[in-house]
Amino acid sequence: MSDLTGELIDGRYQLLRQVANGGMASIYEAIDTRLDRKVAVKIMHPHLAQDEAFVSRFIKEAKAAAALSHPNIVAVQDQGWNQSGVPAIFLVMELIEGHTLREYLNERGRFETKDAINYLTPILSALAAAHLLGIVHRDIKPENILISKDGRIKIADFGLARGEIIGSTMTAESSVILGSVSYLSPEQVQRGVADSRSDVYATGIVAYEMLIGDKPFSAETPIQIAYMHVNEEIPRLRSKRRDIPQSLDDLIASATAKNPDDRPRTAGDFLARLQQIQIDLDPRKNQMDLGLDLPVEPIREKPRKKVKEVVPVEQTPAVVETTKEIRRKEEKKKRASNRVRRNRKVALVLAVALGVGGWWSLVGPGSRVVVPSTIGGSYEEAVNIIAPLGLTTVVENRFDEEIAKGRIIESIPAGGDRVDAAGSVKLIISKGPERFSVPMTTGLTPEAAQTVLKKSPLLVGQIREVFSTEIPKGFVISSSPVSGTSVKRDTTINLVVSKGVQQIALVSYLGKSGEQALNELTETGFSVEVGYAFNDNVPELAVISQTPAGGVSINKGARVVIQISKGPRYTFIPKTVITMEASAAKAMLESLGLKVKVVVIGNNKKKTVKRVSPVVNTKVKRGSTVTITVG
């Protein structure tokens, strides 16, 4: 595929540079000119755009990822056909600036146990969210695990995904071919089937590679590697590296078991066991964080009919004829004469019939040619049958939902009818199913969208309104079926129209808990900006001010600024600090927002406060320094 850098896709996405090029598509860094942000645009190679299976897989990749909303899954933002420039089927995703896990493995070799667990946790968290929706990735490998510059881990490429929500994106056979053989589970290799346990297996292999620094199996050809996954056990981690905890070794062995029933059922189960291991290793860790194949009956030979044996007739000896026998012969001759006369009459009738039949066949209507049956054949096959009869052909093309393109639907006259010698036969040839591409309607007004749809033999269905932060009020957000889909004549197209940005009434949080204000404003859909300031009248951690103020309605997603109290600006040095143990006195003063300087005198092992500067009961500004002398 030629480099499309510089092209403007769909009148919106300006391609800046090509960042990757695979067997199915190329990925570009681009600018979304409408929202002025960087995105990644995945464009299918032109030669695959003619293959309905690949196009379907490409579209369903968008649906697979769009069905998931998780911080560790690459978000899909748009999909469509470029109709205003270079023909292209594209997918728009969030741009992840960083590297793949494969690059990290190539650079670092193996990972420390703690680091490997930290990488596996978000991977399993993302897969757990997918499995919860019934979606199976089926192509987990280091190349599909991205690590952004800020350290966020993202799973990409749901192109082989399948599930109840999105259907199947590819056949089982093609998924085995397209997937990476080093991470394929035995059931994928043997039977071409995959479920959540297949993702668990692939993640287990990724974990093995991270901890050992190499894949469990290597061979000269992919088929040899696949054979080893089916017939050999994955080596235990501790056989390669003794510092691996036994519990982690057991978990990875379970995840990479040949029998799917011996593995964790979902990524969520895998994650739960991994997190328990993480807690055991570091207790201080904060975890808020058939068709049925029947044998063919053998063909039995039919028994041959016995040939009746002809028994030769023995010749009887000659006898002397009597008077009675002579009379019988004369009577037989008389009867034979009557039969001869009758046969002659029959012969005359037959002769007349044959004469009429000959005239009908050679001169009359019988001289017309019988048209052979050609339905289901190709044009070339029909011509080869019809031409030797001295007939010519006339062709008419017609769409048909059942007869394949290029095959004959019917002939006029039909097969078995007759046509004059040297006449013609009209052949109706199938153009295949009649299909029309759903035009692009996004960004149009409903009236304009209906006008565009009516130019094709399509029907306008329901028009539904929803809120949108991207599409202005009164313009089409999307259509169903989506633009670019091939549909039948008179298919109903439903439209989704923007109601604009949702307006939400803003509540006043003055004097209320700052944490409550932050949580509720964020959950409502606002972008919250928080500041802190001293205040003598508002309790510590309560809201001092709010902009905009409560009582007004603003756009969902708008910015709301709240200022939270840090308490009074001044405090008093407590009298109780004198004679307190040094560390306790220091902690008390720091809790009041003061900085503490400690001066040690004397040799006493137990250090208590002797003096404070400024002296006790002095009013001081928070953040100022207090000196305590201990001894």
Catalytic residues: 139
What are the φ and ψ backbone dihedral angles of 54, each rounded to 5 degrees? -70, -40
Q: Are 3 and 88 in contact (CB under 8 A)?
A: no
Token pair, residue 456, equals 């094709």
How far is the C-alpha of 585 from the C-alpha of 574, rounded, in Å? 10
Closest CA to 76 of 62, 56, 89, 97: 62
Dihedral class, residue 216 (left if φ above 0, else alpha if ψ from -120 to 50, else beta): alpha
CB contact set of 244 (below 8 Å; sequence gap of 6+): 113, 211, 237, 238
Helix (H) or strand (E) holding 296: none
Closest CA to 560 of 524, 521, 513, 520: 521
> Residue 312, preceding bond cis, omega within 30 degrees?
no
Three-state SS for 320?
coil
Q: Are 487 and 438 in contact (CB under 8 A)?
A: yes
Q: Are 287 and 275 in contact (CB under 8 A)?
A: yes
Burial 524-549 (b: 16+ CB within 10 A, else e): eebeeeeeeebbeebeeebbbbbeee
DSSP string computed for 256-284: T-SSGGGS-SSHHHHHHHHHHHHHHH-TT
Q: State how far the alpha carbon of 425 is from the alpha carbons of 227, 293, 382, 431, in Å.
A: 58, 46, 10, 19
